[in-house]
Structure 1
Amino acid sequence: MSDLRLATCTYQEFAPHMGTPVRTTAGHPRFPLSYQLGGHARLITPTRDLLKINVQDAYEWGYRRLLNGHGFQRIEQELAGIAGANELDSPLVLLCFDRLDRLTPPDDWCHRLHFAKWWTEQTGDEVPELGAHRKQAPPTLFDA
C-alpha cells in the first residue's frame, strides 16, 4: 500500500479539478495546454523503442521489464517527489495522448493502463481512469 493517490487520463480530457497533471509521455504535447504540468514521471515514461511495438502482449512485457528494472521504490520516490512539489492532497494524474474511447481492438490499450495494472499489483491500490472509458479489451498474457 502506498500513500500516493494516482489516477490516469489524457492530456485532452484532463481538467484541473482532477488533481495534479503529470506527463508520462516521451514527447511533449504538440498542442497548447490550458493548465500547467506538475512534473514529468520519467521512470514510467515508455522509451521510443517501446513505442514502436504494436502488439499488446509484447509491449506490456517490454514495459513491465522497464518498470521492474527501475524498481518500485525508485518509481514511488519519483512520484512522491512530484507530489511533494505540488499539492500533497491532490492525486497525481498520469497523462498520455491516447483517448481510450477512440481506440479499437486490438489496439485499445496504452502504457498508462499497463502502468495502472502494474501499480495495483505492487500496492493493492486501484488507479482510476478519469477520461472516457475504453471499450471492453481482450485479455492479455498478464491477466491470468
Structure 2
Amino acid sequence: MNPKLATCSYVEFRPGMGTAVRSTVGATRWPLPYPLAGHARLITPTRDMLKIQSRDAYEFSYRRMLNGNGIEAVRRELLSIAGVVDLDSPLVLLCFDQLGKLTPPDNWCHRSMIAAWWTEQTGEEVPELGATNAPTPAPTLFDF
C-alpha cells in the first residue's frame, strides 16, 4: 500500500488540499497558518545539495540519495506520517519554491524530482497543487 502524494509550496498550500508534510532542509522562518503532520526526512535534500546550481548535477545527487534510501524505506516513512493523520488524505510534500515564480529559469526543484521518482518507482502519479501563474493571494482567516 502506498500513501497518496501531491506536492505544493508552503505559500500556495491550503488545508483542503490534503495533509501538509515538510520536505525541506530548513523549517519555515514564518508561522504557518496550518499544522505540519511531519517531516519526510528520507526525501529531504541535504544542505550540500542546495549549493548545486545545475539541474542535472542536482538531480543526479538527489536521485542517488533517494535510491540509496530506497522506495521501501521512503514508503514506510510516508505511511507512518499518513497513519498519524489520515490514510485517505493525500500527503502534500511542501517546499519553499513556487514553481514558475521563484525557481530557476527552467522551473525545477526537489519536489518535482521526488514526484517523478515516486511515479517511476510505484507507477502512481504525484500531482502538483501549486505552480499557478497568477499571483498567490495572501491567506485569510477564511482559508483555514
TM over 0.5: yes
2:42 partner letter = L
Cα distance change, pair 132–121 in 1 and its aligned pair in 2 (3 A): same
1:90 is matched with: 89
What is the deviation of 1:104? 4.8
Alignment of 1:26-105 (within 5 A): 26-102=25-101, 103-105=103-105
1:142 is matched with: none
Q: Deviations over 1:54-112 (max 9, x none)?
A: 10000000000000000110000000000001112100000000000203524x20000
Q: Deviations over 1:8-53 (max 9, x none)?
A: 0000000000000000000000111000000000000000011110
2:43 partner letter = I
- Identical positions, percent: 62
TM-score (norm 2): 0.88
Show structure 1 runs of 5+ residues with no match. 135-144
Q: Which runs of 4+ in 1 moved over 4 A?
A: none
2:23 is matched with: 24
Q: Contact 2:19–2:36 at 8 Å: present in 1 too?
A: yes
Cα distance change, pair 131–76 in 1 and its aligned pair in 2 (3 A): same
Q: Distance in 2 between matches of 1:113 and 1:11?
A: 14
CA RMSD of aligned residues (A): 1.2
Q: Distance in 2 between matches of 1:104 and 1:133?
A: 16
Cα distance change, pair 64–104 in 1 and its aligned pair in 2 (3 A): closer
Show structure 2 runs of 5+ residues with no match. 134-144
Q: Distance in 2 between matches of 1:59 and 1:75?
A: 19
Aligned residue pairs total 132
